[in-house]
Amino acid sequence: MSVYCFSVSASLLSLESDTDKNRNQIKQVRTVEEISTLESSNKKRSWLSKLGPGLVTGAADDDPSGIATYSQAGAQFGYNILWSMFLTYPFMAAIQIICARIGRISGHGLATNMRRHYPRALLYFMVTLLLVANTINIAADLSAMGDALKLLIGGSAHWYAAGFGVVSLLLQVFIPYTRYVHILKWLTLALLTYVATIFTVHIPWSEVASALVFPQLTWDRKYLTTLVAVLGTTISPYLFFWQASAEVEHLHADPLAEPIKHAPEQARDELKRIQLDTYIGMGFSNLVAFFIMLTTAVTLHAHGIFSIDSSAQAAQALRPIAGDFAFVLFSIGIIGTGMLALPILAGSAAYAMAGTFRWRSSLELEPLMAKEFYGIIAFATLGGVAIGFTSIDPIKSLYWSAVINGIASVPILVVTMLMATNVKVMGRYIVTRWLKWLGWVTAGLMGAAVLAMLYFMFTGAPA
């Protein structure tokens, strides 16, 4: 439940402009020698340098709120929930590839394409829910980060949370996207703390392997509720909007790049890059989630601790069982992943609102050139900080964030799939075959998950 340089003239910096003419206005004039050098440099790039929007998006999915969900799943059901991460991977990867392709092929984010081709009322409904859910999610992540730092050094969790929020906001506003994205890439390494934690505890790998192949499934309300929570955590609306918009940023950062539907010669290399980037990013995300579940399964569940309310509580519960080193690693991971997720949550809401209302939108722009866009980032981030100083429990409010996200995700997925198969949006590069099939199955799965969630709500199912 969270991550390129502009070489363009001022007129191009409105990334979500409403016409292809404005979007394709002249980039800086370069000599033949400069263009040749750039093309040669692009061809020589390593596979690691091609990782960007997909890697950051996948890593941002393992935010402190997500860590809490995975920790609770592992603590409650032990090894018998681990298989779910293998189930969600192909669906998560497919829908993120589709979102990325929409951005790179059309040259616009999801919201702009929705505004152009589908009912405005539906778009207003979806982006409003997204903004509310993201703000609540930011509040919960900040709370977990503040609690984690308090566990490490003492002090006031509220003020730590406020400090994290303000620092994240300042980084987004005053560091250009092409530099900030490198910070986000480095922050993905924070997730390795959860891989390292595995090596601080004893893992009975034969039992783990057996549970993966032959899990003991208990189809009661608690188990189904947890599966719904895991599915909703891995497939989240804010990730859809962020990756599509990040591809637009990536497009405009490259002086040789154009939207694929206007430059078909770029399709082969760029679509391959998107697939590689997204497969690795979502694989990294699910692998880390698997290790978080495994850590709490082998420690908390094995010692009779079956309930975890937050990621910080999971870190604290680890201490007497797995030792100080595991506790420190888990706590540092919460802070690092939070700093990665905060700009993704705030930024995705800002991109969605900007695309809806035709505002200028780019993290590369100066604040005065995109006041509404940065205003939404500030509103979501500082709103999350403010919630931490009220009587509202940000961790418990995550329940309602999940409800809002679930309600919003189904129409967003359906409209995304309609756009992905719409020639007006995608030109001749509409999604087909396995990607189309997986995309629609993902929408169906999320629809079923939302129905299950609502059923559990109204029938008094346990959380």
Q: Is the pLDDT at 169 greater than 70, yes or no?
A: yes
pLDDT at 49: 63
Residue 27's SS3 state is strand
Q: Which residues lie across from 8 on neighbouring strands?
A: 27
Q: Percent of the chain, pLDDT > 90?
A: 54
Residue identified by tokens 């209302």 is 357
Maximum Cα interatomic distance, the chain, rounded to a whole number of Å: 69
| Ramachandran category for residue 25: left, alpha or beta (phi over 0 → left; psi -120 to 50 → alpha) | beta
Model confidence band, residue 460 (pLDDT cutoffs 50, 70, 90): low
Q: Which residue has the higher pLDDT, 381 or 394?
A: 381
Q: Nearest Cα to 254, choosing from 141, 364, 377, 418?
A: 364
Q: Is the pLDDT at 5 greater than 50, yes or no?
A: no
Q: Nearest Cα to 65, choosing from 131, 135, 169?
A: 135
Q: Is the pLDDT at 17 greater than 60, yes or no?
A: no
Token pair listed for 72: 């609770």
Q: Which residues lie across from 27 on neighbouring strands?
A: 8
Q: Is the pLDDT at 367 greater than 60, yes or no?
A: yes
Residue 8's SS3 state is strand
pLDDT at 312: 79
Q: Is the pLDDT at 79 greater than 90, yes or no?
A: yes
- Computed over every residue of the chain, the mean pLDDT equals 85
Contact between residue 144 and residue 312 where contact means Cβ atoms under 8 Å apart: yes
Q: Nearest Cα to 67, choosing from 379, 283, 227, 291?
A: 291
pTM over 0.75: yes
Average pLDDT (358-385) is 94
Contact between residue 181 and residue 57 where contact means Cβ atoms under 8 Å apart: no
Neighbours of 324 (CB within 10 A): 11
Separation CA 264–CA 239 (nearest Å): 26
List, for residues 402-451, the tens digit of each pLDDT value: 778 888 889 999 999 999 999 999 999 999 899 999 999 999 999 988 88
List, for residues 221-236, the tens digit of each pLDDT value: 888 888 888 888 889 9
Residue identified by tokens 């986000």 is 184
Average pLDDT (184-204) is 84
Contact between residue 25 and residue 7 where contact means Cβ atoms under 8 Å apart: no
Contact between residue 141 and residue 311 where contact means Cβ atoms under 8 Å apart: no
pLDDT at 44: 52
Separation CA 192–CA 201 (nearest Å): 15
Residue 320's SS3 state is helix
List, for residues 311-360, the tens digit of each pLDDT value: 777 888 878 777 888 888 888 989 999 999 999 999 999 999 999 999 99
Separation CA 171–CA 461 (nearest Å): 42
